[in-house]
Amino acid sequence: MYTGSIGICPQHDILWDDLTVLEHCLLYARIQAKDELTAANQALNQVRLEGYADRLSKDLVVVKKRRLSIAISLIGKPVAVFLDEPTTGFDPELQPGLIAKLFEEIENINLEEVFLRIIGKVDAEAD
C-alpha cells in the first residue's frame, strides 16, 4: 500500500495563458500547502524548465507546455504519477523516442510508480 500523494498529468494541458511557468507551479504548490517556492523550483528542475520560469505559458511550444503539465504533476513529491497521453500534439513518428526520453528523465525522480497511457499505441505500467 502506498502512502502519499498521487500526481496526475491529464491529456490536455490545464494552463492559463497569463500565468508564467513559475506562477503555475507556485499555484499548485500553494494548493498542496507545501514550501511553495522550493516545490515549484524542484518541479521545474525535474523537467528541465528552470530556464523558462518567467515565460508566459501561452508563449511556450507544445513540448514545453507538456513538460509544464508534467512538472505540475510532480509537485509535492508524489509516490505515483499518472501520465495520460503525455505526447499529445507531437508528431506520431517522434512519439516512441519521446516516451523513452520521458522515462529516462523521470527515472531520477524516485517515484514508486509511473503509469503511462497512450491511446492506439500502448497501455503500459512502468516502475
Annotated domain spans of the chain: 6-126
Question: 6-126 — its CATH code?
Answer: 3.40.50.300
Q: What is the largest CA-CA distance in the chain?
A: 41
- Residue 44 · residue 25 · CB < 8 Å: yes
pTM of this structure: 0.77
The amino acid that residue 96 corresponds to is P
What is the residue whose three cell numbers read 509511473?
114
pLDDT of residue 112: 62
The CA distance from 60 to 15, in Å, is 11
Nearest of 95, 111, 87, 75 to residue 11 by alpha carbon: 87
The CA distance from 43 to 70, in Å, is 9
Weakest mean pLDDT among 16-20, 53-57, 65-69, 112-116 = 112-116
Note the pLDDT tens digit of each residue in 4-46. 688 888 888 999 999 999 999 999 999 886 689 999 999 898 8
CA distances from 51 to 12, 55, 85, 98, 111 (A): 23, 9, 25, 20, 24
The CA distance from 109 to 88, in Å, is 22
